[in-house]
Structure 1
Amino acid sequence: MPIDIITPHLLRDWPLPSATGDDKHDRGTVLVVGGSRYTPGGVLLAGLAALRAGAGRLQLAVTESTATALSIAVPEAKVLGLPETAEGSVSADLPRALLELAAGADAVALGPGLDNIDETQKILDLVLPATGPGTALVLDAYALGALSRRPEVLGTAKGGAVLTPNRTEAEHLLGRDLGDDLAVEAASLAARYGAAVTLHGHVADPEGHVWREESGAAGLGTSGSGDVLAGLVAGLLARGCEPAQAACWATYAHAVAGQRLAPRYGRTGYLAREIVDEVAYTIGTI
Protein backbone atom coordinates (compact mmCIF):
# COMPACT_ATOMS: atom_id res chain seq x y z
CA MET A 1 0.00 0.00 0.00
CA PRO A 2 1.53 3.37 -1.04
CA ILE A 3 1.84 5.72 1.94
CA ASP A 4 2.73 9.41 1.82
CA ILE A 5 4.70 10.72 4.81
CA ILE A 6 3.25 13.91 6.25
CA THR A 7 6.05 16.48 6.21
CA PRO A 8 6.14 20.28 6.18
CA HIS A 9 6.94 20.07 2.45
CA LEU A 10 3.83 17.99 1.78
CA LEU A 11 1.65 20.37 3.80
CA ARG A 12 3.12 23.49 2.16
CA ASP A 13 2.12 21.99 -1.18
CA TRP A 14 -1.39 21.49 0.28
CA PRO A 15 -1.93 24.97 1.77
CA LEU A 16 -4.71 25.87 4.14
CA PRO A 17 -7.53 28.07 2.81
CA SER A 18 -6.88 31.76 3.35
CA ALA A 19 -9.43 33.99 5.03
CA THR A 20 -10.77 36.51 2.51
CA GLY A 21 -11.49 39.27 5.01
CA ASP A 22 -11.01 40.44 8.57
CA ASP A 23 -14.39 39.24 9.86
CA LYS A 24 -14.58 36.22 12.17
CA HIS A 25 -17.25 34.68 9.94
CA ASP A 26 -14.67 34.36 7.17
CA ARG A 27 -12.81 31.70 9.17
CA GLY A 28 -15.87 29.60 9.92
CA THR A 29 -17.94 28.53 12.91
CA VAL A 30 -17.27 25.42 15.00
CA LEU A 31 -19.88 23.80 17.24
CA VAL A 32 -18.65 21.29 19.83
CA VAL A 33 -21.31 19.04 21.39
CA GLY A 34 -20.29 16.90 24.33
CA GLY A 35 -19.36 16.84 27.97
CA SER A 36 -21.17 15.60 31.03
CA ARG A 37 -21.52 16.86 34.59
CA TYR A 38 -18.16 15.25 35.32
CA THR A 39 -16.28 15.68 32.03
CA PRO A 40 -16.84 19.19 30.64
CA GLY A 41 -13.10 19.54 30.06
CA GLY A 42 -13.24 17.54 26.83
CA VAL A 43 -15.43 20.21 25.27
CA LEU A 44 -13.17 22.97 26.57
CA LEU A 45 -10.06 21.36 25.08
CA ALA A 46 -11.69 20.67 21.73
CA GLY A 47 -13.10 24.17 21.53
CA LEU A 48 -9.84 25.92 22.35
CA ALA A 49 -8.01 23.71 19.86
CA ALA A 50 -10.50 24.70 17.15
CA LEU A 51 -9.80 28.37 17.80
CA ARG A 52 -6.03 27.80 17.81
CA ALA A 53 -6.42 26.05 14.46
CA GLY A 54 -7.86 29.28 13.11
CA ALA A 55 -11.64 28.96 13.35
CA GLY A 56 -13.37 32.32 13.63
CA ARG A 57 -16.30 31.51 15.92
CA LEU A 58 -16.79 28.89 18.63
CA GLN A 59 -20.01 27.47 20.06
CA LEU A 60 -20.06 24.91 22.87
CA ALA A 61 -23.02 22.75 23.91
CA VAL A 62 -22.70 21.01 27.29
CA THR A 63 -24.77 19.93 30.27
CA GLU A 64 -26.74 22.73 31.88
CA SER A 65 -24.94 22.23 35.20
CA THR A 66 -21.54 23.03 33.65
CA ALA A 67 -22.53 25.67 31.08
CA THR A 68 -21.95 28.73 33.26
CA ALA A 69 -18.53 27.59 34.42
CA LEU A 70 -17.52 26.78 30.84
CA SER A 71 -18.70 30.17 29.57
CA ILE A 72 -16.40 31.81 32.11
CA ALA A 73 -13.49 29.49 31.29
CA VAL A 74 -13.90 30.12 27.54
CA PRO A 75 -15.17 33.69 27.19
CA GLU A 76 -14.54 33.52 23.43
CA ALA A 77 -17.38 31.01 23.01
CA LYS A 78 -21.15 31.01 22.95
CA VAL A 79 -22.20 28.30 25.42
CA LEU A 80 -25.50 26.47 25.30
CA GLY A 81 -26.72 24.41 28.25
CA LEU A 82 -28.28 21.03 27.46
CA PRO A 83 -30.65 18.85 29.48
CA GLU A 84 -28.96 16.13 31.48
CA THR A 85 -29.88 12.78 32.91
CA ALA A 86 -30.05 12.08 36.64
CA GLU A 87 -26.55 10.61 36.34
CA GLY A 88 -25.18 13.81 34.78
CA SER A 89 -24.92 12.74 31.13
CA VAL A 90 -26.13 14.90 28.25
CA SER A 91 -29.75 13.96 27.56
CA ALA A 92 -31.03 13.40 24.03
CA ASP A 93 -33.99 15.67 24.83
CA LEU A 94 -32.23 18.34 22.83
CA PRO A 95 -33.47 21.93 22.58
CA ARG A 96 -34.33 23.36 19.18
CA ALA A 97 -31.58 25.93 19.72
CA LEU A 98 -28.92 23.23 19.42
CA LEU A 99 -30.29 21.93 16.14
CA GLU A 100 -30.34 25.50 14.82
CA LEU A 101 -26.69 25.93 15.79
CA ALA A 102 -25.84 22.67 14.01
CA ALA A 103 -27.62 23.88 10.87
CA GLY A 104 -25.56 27.07 10.82
CA ALA A 105 -22.14 25.72 11.76
CA ASP A 106 -19.34 25.10 9.27
CA ALA A 107 -18.06 22.20 11.37
CA VAL A 108 -19.61 20.18 14.19
CA ALA A 109 -17.46 18.13 16.57
CA LEU A 110 -19.58 15.57 18.38
CA GLY A 111 -18.38 13.35 21.19
CA PRO A 112 -15.74 14.94 23.43
CA GLY A 113 -16.67 14.23 27.05
CA LEU A 114 -19.90 12.33 26.35
CA ASP A 115 -20.29 9.31 28.63
CA ASN A 116 -23.61 7.56 27.90
CA ILE A 117 -23.73 5.42 24.76
CA ASP A 118 -27.53 5.18 24.56
CA GLU A 119 -28.04 8.93 24.88
CA THR A 120 -25.17 9.56 22.47
CA GLN A 121 -26.82 7.31 19.88
CA LYS A 122 -30.00 9.37 20.07
CA ILE A 123 -28.03 12.64 19.94
CA LEU A 124 -26.23 11.43 16.81
CA ASP A 125 -29.54 10.55 15.18
CA LEU A 126 -30.87 14.05 15.87
CA VAL A 127 -27.85 16.26 15.24
CA LEU A 128 -26.50 14.76 12.01
CA PRO A 129 -29.67 15.27 9.94
CA ALA A 130 -29.94 18.83 11.31
CA THR A 131 -26.56 19.93 9.94
CA GLY A 132 -26.47 22.26 6.98
CA PRO A 133 -25.54 21.27 3.41
CA GLY A 134 -21.97 22.49 3.87
CA THR A 135 -21.46 21.43 7.48
CA ALA A 136 -18.48 19.11 8.00
CA LEU A 137 -18.51 16.62 10.86
CA VAL A 138 -15.95 15.32 13.36
CA LEU A 139 -16.88 12.26 15.41
CA ASP A 140 -14.87 11.38 18.50
CA ALA A 141 -15.09 9.23 21.64
CA TYR A 142 -18.61 7.97 22.47
CA ALA A 143 -19.94 9.30 19.17
CA LEU A 144 -17.74 6.70 17.45
CA GLY A 145 -19.19 3.95 19.61
CA ALA A 146 -22.66 5.14 18.63
CA LEU A 147 -21.63 5.20 14.96
CA SER A 148 -20.50 1.58 15.17
CA ARG A 149 -24.07 0.65 16.10
CA ARG A 150 -25.65 2.49 13.17
CA PRO A 151 -23.09 3.23 10.42
CA GLU A 152 -25.81 4.37 8.03
CA VAL A 153 -26.45 7.51 10.10
CA LEU A 154 -23.24 9.02 8.74
CA GLY A 155 -24.95 9.25 5.38
CA THR A 156 -27.09 12.08 6.74
CA ALA A 157 -23.98 14.27 7.16
CA LYS A 158 -23.85 16.45 4.08
CA GLY A 159 -20.46 18.20 4.22
CA GLY A 160 -18.04 15.32 4.71
CA ALA A 161 -16.72 13.76 7.89
CA VAL A 162 -13.56 12.89 9.81
CA LEU A 163 -13.36 10.12 12.39
CA THR A 164 -10.74 10.40 15.16
CA PRO A 165 -10.70 6.99 16.90
CA ASN A 166 -8.21 5.61 19.38
CA ARG A 167 -7.39 1.91 19.16
CA THR A 168 -10.35 0.76 21.24
CA GLU A 169 -12.80 2.92 19.30
CA ALA A 170 -11.34 1.68 16.02
CA GLU A 171 -11.96 -1.89 17.13
CA HIS A 172 -15.60 -1.07 17.86
CA LEU A 173 -15.93 0.56 14.45
CA LEU A 174 -14.42 -2.44 12.68
CA GLY A 175 -16.07 -5.04 14.86
CA ARG A 176 -12.79 -6.88 15.47
CA ASP A 177 -9.34 -6.56 17.00
CA LEU A 178 -6.89 -4.27 15.24
CA GLY A 179 -4.01 -5.73 13.29
CA ASP A 180 -0.45 -4.51 13.57
CA ASP A 181 -0.53 -2.37 10.41
CA LEU A 182 -2.43 0.78 11.38
CA ALA A 183 -2.18 2.18 7.86
CA VAL A 184 -4.22 -0.78 6.61
CA GLU A 185 -6.68 -0.41 9.47
CA ALA A 186 -7.14 3.33 8.86
CA ALA A 187 -7.80 2.60 5.19
CA SER A 188 -10.33 -0.08 6.15
CA LEU A 189 -12.17 2.36 8.39
CA ALA A 190 -12.20 5.08 5.73
CA ALA A 191 -13.59 2.69 3.14
CA ARG A 192 -16.21 1.23 5.46
CA TYR A 193 -17.57 4.56 6.69
CA GLY A 194 -16.96 6.80 3.69
CA ALA A 195 -15.06 9.29 5.84
CA ALA A 196 -11.51 10.48 6.40
CA VAL A 197 -9.87 8.83 9.40
CA THR A 198 -6.94 9.72 11.64
CA LEU A 199 -5.78 6.75 13.71
CA HIS A 200 -2.61 7.08 15.81
CA GLY A 201 -0.73 9.08 13.22
CA HIS A 202 -2.20 7.28 10.20
CA VAL A 203 -4.64 9.15 7.95
CA ALA A 204 -6.78 7.65 5.21
CA ASP A 205 -9.59 8.79 2.96
CA PRO A 206 -12.38 6.79 1.28
CA GLU A 207 -10.60 6.93 -2.10
CA GLY A 208 -7.75 4.80 -0.76
CA HIS A 209 -5.12 7.48 -0.12
CA VAL A 210 -3.05 6.90 3.03
CA TRP A 211 -0.68 9.19 4.89
CA ARG A 212 1.53 8.64 7.96
CA GLU A 213 2.84 11.17 10.48
CA GLU A 214 6.20 10.18 11.97
CA SER A 215 6.77 12.85 14.65
CA GLY A 216 4.39 11.49 17.28
CA ALA A 217 5.61 10.45 20.71
CA ALA A 218 4.40 8.64 23.80
CA GLY A 219 3.44 11.92 25.44
CA LEU A 220 0.43 12.26 23.15
CA GLY A 221 -1.14 9.37 25.04
CA THR A 222 -2.41 11.61 27.81
CA SER A 223 -5.89 12.46 29.07
CA GLY A 224 -7.59 14.99 26.81
CA SER A 225 -5.14 14.64 23.93
CA GLY A 226 -7.78 13.08 21.68
CA ASP A 227 -10.15 15.96 22.41
CA VAL A 228 -7.46 18.37 21.25
CA LEU A 229 -7.02 16.44 17.99
CA ALA A 230 -10.76 16.42 17.34
CA GLY A 231 -10.91 20.17 17.92
CA LEU A 232 -7.98 20.80 15.58
CA VAL A 233 -9.71 18.86 12.82
CA ALA A 234 -12.94 20.79 13.40
CA GLY A 235 -11.18 24.15 13.31
CA LEU A 236 -9.47 23.34 10.02
CA LEU A 237 -12.71 22.04 8.50
CA ALA A 238 -14.43 25.27 9.50
CA ARG A 239 -11.73 27.22 7.67
CA GLY A 240 -12.62 25.34 4.49
CA CYS A 241 -10.28 22.34 4.41
CA GLU A 242 -11.41 19.13 2.79
CA PRO A 243 -11.68 16.25 5.30
CA ALA A 244 -8.41 14.46 4.39
CA GLN A 245 -6.51 17.74 4.35
CA ALA A 246 -7.87 18.73 7.76
CA ALA A 247 -6.97 15.28 9.14
CA CYS A 248 -3.39 15.45 7.80
CA TRP A 249 -2.72 19.00 9.00
CA ALA A 250 -4.29 18.33 12.42
CA THR A 251 -2.43 15.06 12.91
CA TYR A 252 0.88 16.72 12.11
CA ALA A 253 0.24 19.83 14.25
CA HIS A 254 -0.90 17.67 17.17
CA ALA A 255 2.25 15.54 17.05
CA VAL A 256 4.74 18.36 16.51
CA ALA A 257 3.13 20.46 19.26
CA GLY A 258 3.86 17.53 21.59
CA GLN A 259 7.43 17.36 20.35
CA ARG A 260 7.90 21.05 21.13
CA LEU A 261 6.81 20.46 24.72
CA ALA A 262 9.11 17.50 25.39
CA PRO A 263 12.26 19.55 26.16
CA ARG A 264 10.38 21.36 28.93
CA TYR A 265 8.32 18.53 30.42
CA GLY A 266 9.92 15.32 29.23
CA ARG A 267 8.50 12.84 26.74
CA THR A 268 5.50 11.96 28.92
CA GLY A 269 5.07 14.92 31.28
CA TYR A 270 3.12 17.48 29.28
CA LEU A 271 -0.64 18.01 29.45
CA ALA A 272 -3.30 18.19 26.76
CA ARG A 273 -3.98 21.85 27.57
CA GLU A 274 -0.31 22.58 26.85
CA ILE A 275 -0.57 20.90 23.45
CA VAL A 276 -3.29 23.43 22.63
CA ASP A 277 -0.93 26.29 23.46
CA GLU A 278 1.64 25.12 20.89
CA VAL A 279 -0.75 24.51 18.01
CA ALA A 280 -1.04 27.99 16.49
CA TYR A 281 2.74 28.47 16.34
CA THR A 282 3.20 24.98 14.90
CA ILE A 283 0.67 25.57 12.13
CA GLY A 284 1.99 29.05 11.45
CA THR A 285 5.58 27.90 10.96
CA ILE A 286 4.98 24.96 8.63
Structure 2
Amino acid sequence: MPNRSDSLVITPALLREWALPVPSGGKDARGTVLVVGGSRFTPGAVLLAGVAALRAGAGVLQLAAAESTAAALSIQVPEALVVGLPETPAGAVAGRAGDQLRELAGEATVVTLGPGLNDIDETRELLELILDATGPETSLVLDAYALGALSHSPDLLVGSGRPVVLTPNLTEARHLLDRDPGDDLDAEAAELARRYDAVVSLYGHIATPQGGSWREESGDAGLGTSGSGDVRAGLLAGLLSRGAEPAQAACWAAFAHAVSGQRLVPRYGRIGFLARELLDEIPHTLATV
Protein backbone atom coordinates (compact mmCIF):
# COMPACT_ATOMS: atom_id res chain seq x y z
CA MET A 1 0.00 0.00 0.00
CA PRO A 2 1.00 3.65 -0.19
CA ASN A 3 4.38 4.64 1.12
CA ARG A 4 4.91 8.17 -0.09
CA SER A 5 5.44 11.59 1.35
CA ASP A 6 2.28 13.19 -0.07
CA SER A 7 -0.91 12.59 1.86
CA LEU A 8 -3.59 10.35 0.31
CA VAL A 9 -7.26 10.93 1.06
CA ILE A 10 -8.88 7.92 2.73
CA THR A 11 -11.84 6.92 0.58
CA PRO A 12 -13.98 3.78 0.41
CA ALA A 13 -12.19 2.88 -2.83
CA LEU A 14 -8.79 3.11 -1.16
CA LEU A 15 -9.98 0.96 1.75
CA ARG A 16 -11.55 -1.65 -0.53
CA GLU A 17 -8.16 -2.07 -2.16
CA TRP A 18 -6.65 -2.42 1.33
CA ALA A 19 -9.19 -4.92 2.64
CA LEU A 20 -9.13 -5.88 6.30
CA PRO A 21 -8.21 -9.45 7.25
CA VAL A 22 -11.23 -11.68 7.81
CA PRO A 23 -10.06 -14.34 10.26
CA SER A 24 -11.72 -17.75 10.13
CA GLY A 25 -12.39 -19.95 13.12
CA GLY A 26 -13.40 -18.99 16.63
CA LYS A 27 -12.77 -15.99 18.83
CA ASP A 28 -9.11 -16.85 19.37
CA ALA A 29 -8.47 -16.31 15.66
CA ARG A 30 -9.47 -12.66 16.14
CA GLY A 31 -7.04 -12.06 18.97
CA THR A 32 -7.19 -10.68 22.50
CA VAL A 33 -7.37 -6.97 23.30
CA LEU A 34 -6.32 -5.78 26.74
CA VAL A 35 -7.37 -2.24 27.68
CA VAL A 36 -5.49 -0.74 30.63
CA GLY A 37 -6.80 2.49 32.10
CA GLY A 38 -9.65 3.94 34.07
CA SER A 39 -9.10 5.77 37.34
CA ARG A 40 -11.68 5.60 40.15
CA PHE A 41 -13.47 8.49 38.47
CA THR A 42 -13.13 7.55 34.77
CA PRO A 43 -14.01 3.87 34.27
CA GLY A 44 -16.22 4.81 31.33
CA ALA A 45 -13.16 5.44 29.17
CA VAL A 46 -12.15 1.79 29.50
CA LEU A 47 -15.72 0.67 28.76
CA LEU A 48 -15.88 2.75 25.57
CA ALA A 49 -12.51 1.56 24.31
CA GLY A 50 -13.24 -2.06 25.14
CA VAL A 51 -16.66 -2.22 23.50
CA ALA A 52 -15.29 -0.43 20.43
CA ALA A 53 -12.62 -3.13 20.14
CA LEU A 54 -15.29 -5.83 20.16
CA ARG A 55 -17.41 -3.93 17.63
CA ALA A 56 -14.36 -3.73 15.35
CA GLY A 57 -13.87 -7.49 15.46
CA ALA A 58 -11.65 -8.40 18.41
CA GLY A 59 -12.26 -11.95 19.60
CA VAL A 60 -11.51 -11.66 23.32
CA LEU A 61 -11.67 -8.54 25.49
CA GLN A 62 -9.92 -7.95 28.80
CA LEU A 63 -10.24 -4.77 30.85
CA ALA A 64 -7.84 -3.69 33.59
CA ALA A 65 -8.92 -0.66 35.60
CA ALA A 66 -8.92 0.79 39.10
CA GLU A 67 -9.98 -1.86 41.61
CA SER A 68 -12.91 0.15 42.94
CA THR A 69 -14.51 0.17 39.48
CA ALA A 70 -13.96 -3.47 38.46
CA ALA A 71 -17.27 -4.88 39.69
CA ALA A 72 -19.30 -2.19 37.94
CA LEU A 73 -17.31 -2.64 34.73
CA SER A 74 -17.80 -6.40 34.77
CA ILE A 75 -21.56 -5.86 34.92
CA GLN A 76 -21.58 -3.20 32.23
CA VAL A 77 -19.38 -5.26 29.88
CA PRO A 78 -20.29 -8.89 30.59
CA GLU A 79 -18.40 -9.97 27.46
CA ALA A 80 -15.06 -9.03 29.08
CA LEU A 81 -12.72 -10.39 31.69
CA VAL A 82 -12.31 -7.50 34.13
CA VAL A 83 -9.33 -7.14 36.46
CA GLY A 84 -9.07 -4.61 39.27
CA LEU A 85 -5.73 -2.84 39.61
CA PRO A 86 -4.29 -1.27 42.77
CA GLU A 87 -5.14 2.40 43.28
CA THR A 88 -3.34 5.36 44.77
CA PRO A 89 -5.11 7.21 47.61
CA ALA A 90 -6.28 9.73 45.00
CA GLY A 91 -7.93 7.01 42.91
CA ALA A 92 -5.39 6.72 40.10
CA VAL A 93 -4.28 3.32 38.85
CA ALA A 94 -1.02 2.54 40.61
CA GLY A 95 2.03 1.99 38.43
CA ARG A 96 3.13 -1.07 40.38
CA ALA A 97 0.17 -3.07 39.14
CA GLY A 98 1.51 -6.55 39.90
CA ASP A 99 1.91 -9.94 38.28
CA GLN A 100 -1.65 -10.33 37.03
CA LEU A 101 -1.43 -7.37 34.68
CA ARG A 102 2.01 -8.50 33.55
CA GLU A 103 0.62 -11.95 32.71
CA LEU A 104 -2.39 -10.58 30.83
CA ALA A 105 -0.21 -8.19 28.82
CA GLY A 106 2.18 -10.98 27.95
CA GLU A 107 -0.63 -13.05 26.45
CA ALA A 108 -2.53 -10.26 24.66
CA THR A 109 -2.51 -9.66 20.92
CA VAL A 110 -3.03 -5.92 21.43
CA VAL A 111 -2.60 -3.74 24.52
CA THR A 112 -4.28 -0.35 24.66
CA LEU A 113 -2.86 1.84 27.41
CA GLY A 114 -4.21 5.21 28.46
CA PRO A 115 -8.01 5.59 28.37
CA GLY A 116 -9.10 7.14 31.66
CA LEU A 117 -5.66 7.24 33.33
CA ASN A 118 -5.00 10.48 35.22
CA ASP A 119 -1.57 10.39 36.89
CA ILE A 120 1.49 10.90 34.70
CA ASP A 121 4.03 9.33 37.06
CA GLU A 122 1.92 6.22 37.64
CA THR A 123 1.27 5.97 33.91
CA ARG A 124 5.00 6.05 33.18
CA GLU A 125 5.43 3.02 35.42
CA LEU A 126 2.52 1.26 33.73
CA LEU A 127 4.02 1.95 30.30
CA GLU A 128 7.35 0.49 31.36
CA LEU A 129 5.58 -2.56 32.78
CA ILE A 130 3.65 -3.12 29.55
CA LEU A 131 6.76 -2.76 27.39
CA ASP A 132 8.64 -5.18 29.62
CA ALA A 133 5.82 -7.73 29.70
CA THR A 134 5.04 -7.81 25.98
CA GLY A 135 7.04 -9.19 23.12
CA PRO A 136 8.04 -7.36 19.92
CA GLU A 137 5.05 -8.85 18.08
CA THR A 138 2.44 -7.43 20.48
CA SER A 139 0.62 -4.45 19.01
CA LEU A 140 0.31 -1.36 21.22
CA VAL A 141 -2.12 1.54 21.10
CA LEU A 142 -1.01 4.46 23.26
CA ASP A 143 -3.61 7.07 24.10
CA ALA A 144 -4.23 9.94 26.52
CA TYR A 145 -1.87 9.90 29.54
CA ALA A 146 0.22 7.13 27.97
CA LEU A 147 1.24 9.69 25.35
CA GLY A 148 2.25 12.12 28.05
CA ALA A 149 4.34 9.39 29.62
CA LEU A 150 5.97 8.63 26.27
CA SER A 151 6.83 12.32 25.80
CA HIS A 152 9.05 12.06 28.89
CA SER A 153 10.95 9.13 27.32
CA PRO A 154 10.94 9.93 23.58
CA ASP A 155 13.44 7.19 22.66
CA LEU A 156 11.47 4.43 24.37
CA LEU A 157 10.11 2.93 21.13
CA VAL A 158 12.83 4.01 18.70
CA GLY A 159 14.40 1.04 16.96
CA SER A 160 12.22 -1.47 18.80
CA GLY A 161 10.38 -2.62 15.68
CA ARG A 162 7.18 -2.85 17.70
CA PRO A 163 3.82 -2.38 15.95
CA VAL A 164 2.66 0.78 17.76
CA VAL A 165 -0.03 3.37 17.00
CA LEU A 166 -0.12 6.72 18.82
CA THR A 167 -3.48 8.54 18.93
CA PRO A 168 -2.83 12.10 20.15
CA ASN A 169 -5.24 14.99 20.23
CA LEU A 170 -3.80 18.49 19.82
CA THR A 171 -2.97 18.86 23.52
CA GLU A 172 -1.17 15.53 23.57
CA ALA A 173 0.59 16.38 20.30
CA ARG A 174 1.93 19.52 21.98
CA HIS A 175 3.51 17.41 24.71
CA LEU A 176 4.94 14.95 22.20
CA LEU A 177 6.35 17.72 19.99
CA ASP A 178 7.42 19.90 22.92
CA ARG A 179 5.84 22.84 21.10
CA ASP A 180 2.46 23.95 19.80
CA PRO A 181 1.47 22.03 16.68
CA GLY A 182 1.10 24.07 13.52
CA ASP A 183 -1.82 24.16 11.12
CA ASP A 184 -0.39 21.49 8.79
CA LEU A 185 -1.44 18.35 10.66
CA ASP A 186 -0.12 16.10 7.89
CA ALA A 187 3.35 17.50 8.57
CA GLU A 188 2.93 17.30 12.34
CA ALA A 189 1.79 13.67 12.18
CA ALA A 190 4.81 12.88 9.99
CA GLU A 191 7.16 14.59 12.45
CA LEU A 192 5.70 12.60 15.35
CA ALA A 193 5.94 9.34 13.43
CA ARG A 194 9.61 9.95 12.69
CA ARG A 195 10.43 11.13 16.20
CA TYR A 196 8.74 8.26 18.04
CA ASP A 197 9.19 5.52 15.42
CA ALA A 198 5.49 4.66 15.44
CA VAL A 199 2.40 5.08 13.32
CA VAL A 200 0.55 8.25 14.33
CA SER A 201 -3.14 9.06 13.99
CA LEU A 202 -3.62 12.76 14.70
CA TYR A 203 -7.18 13.97 14.14
CA GLY A 204 -7.54 11.80 11.05
CA HIS A 205 -4.03 12.54 9.77
CA ILE A 206 -2.08 9.28 9.67
CA ALA A 207 1.66 8.93 9.16
CA THR A 208 4.26 6.17 9.32
CA PRO A 209 7.95 6.49 10.21
CA GLN A 210 8.77 5.43 6.63
CA GLY A 211 6.92 8.41 5.12
CA GLY A 212 3.47 6.99 4.40
CA SER A 213 0.80 9.65 4.81
CA TRP A 214 -3.02 9.60 4.65
CA ARG A 215 -5.82 11.88 5.76
CA GLU A 216 -9.49 11.33 6.58
CA GLU A 217 -11.78 14.15 5.42
CA SER A 218 -15.21 12.95 6.58
CA GLY A 219 -14.91 13.90 10.25
CA ASP A 220 -17.21 16.58 11.62
CA ALA A 221 -17.55 18.67 14.76
CA GLY A 222 -19.68 16.06 16.51
CA LEU A 223 -16.67 13.79 16.98
CA GLY A 224 -15.25 16.38 19.35
CA THR A 225 -17.24 15.01 22.26
CA SER A 226 -16.23 13.47 25.56
CA GLY A 227 -15.17 9.84 25.14
CA SER A 228 -14.85 9.98 21.36
CA GLY A 229 -11.08 9.46 21.53
CA ASP A 230 -11.56 6.39 23.70
CA VAL A 231 -13.84 4.91 21.05
CA ARG A 232 -11.23 5.60 18.37
CA ALA A 233 -8.46 3.97 20.42
CA GLY A 234 -10.57 0.86 20.98
CA LEU A 235 -11.61 0.70 17.35
CA LEU A 236 -7.95 0.74 16.38
CA ALA A 237 -7.17 -2.03 18.85
CA GLY A 238 -9.95 -4.22 17.51
CA LEU A 239 -8.71 -3.87 13.93
CA LEU A 240 -5.14 -4.67 14.98
CA SER A 241 -6.39 -7.68 16.90
CA ARG A 242 -8.07 -9.20 13.87
CA GLY A 243 -4.82 -8.92 11.91
CA ALA A 244 -4.58 -5.46 10.35
CA GLU A 245 -1.12 -3.89 10.27
CA PRO A 246 -0.71 -0.55 12.06
CA ALA A 247 -1.06 1.91 9.17
CA GLN A 248 -3.98 -0.05 7.72
CA ALA A 249 -5.73 -0.19 11.10
CA ALA A 250 -5.18 3.55 11.64
CA CYS A 251 -6.67 4.44 8.24
CA TRP A 252 -9.66 2.14 8.61
CA ALA A 253 -10.25 3.33 12.18
CA ALA A 254 -10.13 7.00 11.20
CA PHE A 255 -12.66 6.40 8.44
CA ALA A 256 -14.97 4.21 10.52
CA HIS A 257 -14.88 6.68 13.42
CA ALA A 258 -15.77 9.61 11.17
CA VAL A 259 -18.46 7.86 9.14
CA SER A 260 -20.07 6.36 12.24
CA GLY A 261 -20.46 9.93 13.44
CA GLN A 262 -22.00 10.95 10.12
CA ARG A 263 -24.55 8.17 10.44
CA LEU A 264 -25.75 9.65 13.74
CA VAL A 265 -26.32 13.17 12.40
CA PRO A 266 -29.86 12.60 11.07
CA ARG A 267 -30.97 11.46 14.53
CA TYR A 268 -29.04 13.78 16.82
CA GLY A 269 -27.71 16.66 14.74
CA ARG A 270 -24.09 17.50 14.03
CA ILE A 271 -23.09 18.04 17.65
CA GLY A 272 -25.78 16.23 19.67
CA PHE A 273 -24.64 12.60 19.70
CA LEU A 274 -22.71 10.85 22.45
CA ALA A 275 -19.53 8.83 22.17
CA ARG A 276 -21.27 5.65 23.28
CA GLU A 277 -23.71 6.02 20.39
CA LEU A 278 -20.83 5.63 17.96
CA LEU A 279 -20.30 2.07 19.15
CA ASP A 280 -23.35 0.51 17.54
CA GLU A 281 -22.57 2.18 14.21
CA ILE A 282 -19.07 0.71 13.87
CA PRO A 283 -19.91 -2.77 12.53
CA HIS A 284 -22.27 -1.44 9.85
CA THR A 285 -19.78 1.23 8.81
CA LEU A 286 -17.00 -1.32 8.44
CA ALA A 287 -19.23 -3.78 6.60
CA THR A 288 -20.48 -1.28 4.03
CA VAL A 289 -17.18 0.22 2.87
TM-score under structure 2 length normalisation: 0.97
Show the counterpart of 1:24: 27
Contact in 2 for aligned 1:162/1:198 (Cα 8 Å): yes
Show the counterpart of 1:177: 180
Deviation digits for residues 96-118 of structure 1 (CA, Å, limit 9, x no counterpart)? 01111111111000000000001
Separation in 1 of the partners of 2:132 and 2:51? 26
Show the counterpart of 2:118: 115
Deviation digits for residues 227-248 of structure 1 (CA, Å, limit 9, x no counterpart)? 0000011111111111100000
Task: Return closer, same or farther for 1:174/1:9 CA change in 2, 3 Å cut-off.
Answer: same
Q: Mapping of 1:151-170 within 5 angstroms?
A: 151-155=154-158, 159-170=162-173
Separation in 2 of the partners of 1:152 and 1:68? 37
Identity of aligned residues (%): 66
What is the CA-CA distance between 1:157 and the residue it aligns to? Answer: 6.1
Aligned length: 285
Separation in 2 of the partners of 1:271 and 1:19? 31
AA matched with 1:171:
R
Contact in 1 for aligned 2:159/2:197 (Cα 8 Å): no
Task: Return closer, same or farther for 1:109/1:127 CA change in 2, 3 Å cut-off.
Answer: same
AA matched with 1:277:
D
What is the CA-CA distance between 1:134 and the residue it aligns to? Answer: 1.8
Show the counterpart of 2:266: 263
Contact in 2 for aligned 1:254/1:279 (Cα 8 Å): yes
221, 241, 260: which one aligns with 2:224 = 221
Separation in 1 of the partners of 2:261 and 2:136? 35
Root-mean-square deviation (Å): 1.1
- 1:133 matches 2:166: no
Q: Mapping of 1:185-264 within 5 angstroms?
A: 185-264=188-267
Please state whether the residue corresponding to 2:280 is helix, strand or coil.
helix
Show the counterpart of 1:12: 16
What is the CA-CA distance between 1:162 and the residue it aligns to? Answer: 0.1
Q: Mapping of 1:137-148 within 5 angstroms?
A: 137-148=140-151
Separation in 1 of the partners of 2:267 and 2:110? 33
Contact in 2 for aligned 1:52/1:280 (Cα 8 Å): yes
Show the counterpart of 2:92: 89
Separation in 2 of the partners of 1:133 and 1:163? 16
What is the CA-CA distance between 1:94 and the residue it aligns to? Answer: 1.0
Separation in 1 of the partners of 2:162 and 2:57? 19
Greater shift, 156-165 or 66-75, is seen at 156-165
Runs of at least 5 residues in structure 2 that lack an aligned partner in the other structure:
none
Separation in 1 of the partners of 2:176 and 2:116? 19
Task: Return closer, same or farther for 1:82/1:157 CA change in 2, 3 Å cut-off.
Answer: farther
Separation in 2 of the partners of 1:64 and 1:158? 33
Deviation digits for residues 11-47 of structure 1 (CA, Å, limit 9, x no counterpart)? 01001111121x1000010000000000000000000
Show the counterpart of 2:41: 38
Show the counterpart of 1:51: 54
TM-score under structure 1 length normalisation: 0.98
